[in-house]
Amino acid sequence: MILAIPNVLSAEQVAETRQQLDTAAWIDGRVTAGHQSGRVKDNEQLVEGSPLALRLGEVILAALERNPLFVSAALPSKILPPLFNRYSAGHSFGTHVDNAVRQIRGTPHRIRTDLSATLFLSAPAEYDGGELIVEDMYGPQTIKLPAGHMVLYPASSLHRVLPITRGARVASFFWIQSMVRDDGERALLFDMDLAIQRLNRESPNHPSAVQFTAVYHNLLRRWAEI
């Protein structure tokens, strides 16, 4: 399931984040790439674990905690501290798949990367190219979202970033370990949760609401790993 989540950050938060990132020191993005992806990765990255990255990452994590669409879709158990990258003219990232497990820098902890997230911090008009292409069962999906919006997709997907021909694409990216590792099971729960929410809005006293909610939680109880 590929899901666009609007307005994760407000316009004010995006502007403040960009102000700090535009004067930051960037390094070769291949420092966090695996063997295979390092051969096709060409971008810049904020130093992982730097005070700025941690500070800006906390803003994003706090926003995600308050975002019901993200929580419903991802069912997050652990989130890797957000990273930040920049693609300037000529930069791109060839087809690759994300590492299945990632170490949380500075700790002995690891997370399983069930979901990948890209939070766009540049408006589409600021750059040409730079589209995120994600392969799914329906073929390649092209993603280029407004600043402050985020896309969530299975980390097992092949994906790439097309070359930048003008301007710069700035984004945050990170991975989520879900309580429900299977993408199909997680998608069923998401669809059911949306249906329950709609039923509660349109018919708040409908007797089926309790039954559907019970089914949702019993499925979550069966599939969740805590």
What pLDDT tens digit does each residue of the chain (226 aa) get? 999 999 999 999 999 999 999 999 999 877 766 666 667 988 999 999 999 999 999 999 999 999 999 999 999 999 999 999 999 999 999 999 999 999 988 889 999 999 999 999 999 999 999 999 999 988 999 999 999 999 999 999 999 999 999 999 999 999 999 999 999 999 999 999 999 999 999 998 898 999 999 999 999 999 999 8
- In this prediction the pTM is 0.94
Q: What's the rounded Cα separation, in Å, for the pair 193 and 212?
A: 9
Q: What's the rounded Cα separation, in Å, for the pair 47 and 203?
A: 50
Q: What's the rounded Cα separation, in Å, for the pair 173 and 155?
A: 12
Q: What's the rounded Cα separation, in Å, for the pair 111 and 8?
A: 23
Q: Identify which of 176, 181, 173, 177 has the alpha carbon closest to the alpha carbon of residue 32.
A: 173
The domain limits of the chain are: 3-178, 183-223
| 189 residue type, one letter | L
Q: Which pair of tokens denotes residue 105?
A: 């820098």
Q: What's the rounded Cα separation, in Å, for the pair 176 and 197?
A: 24
Residues paired with residue 4 on neighbouring β-strands, in sequence order:
151
Q: What's the rounded Cα separation, in Å, for the pair 139 and 26?
A: 34
Q: Which residue has the tokens 């589409």?
A: 124
CATH entry 3.20.20 includes domain 183-223: no
List the CATH code of the domain at 3-178: 2.60.120.620
Length of the chain: 226
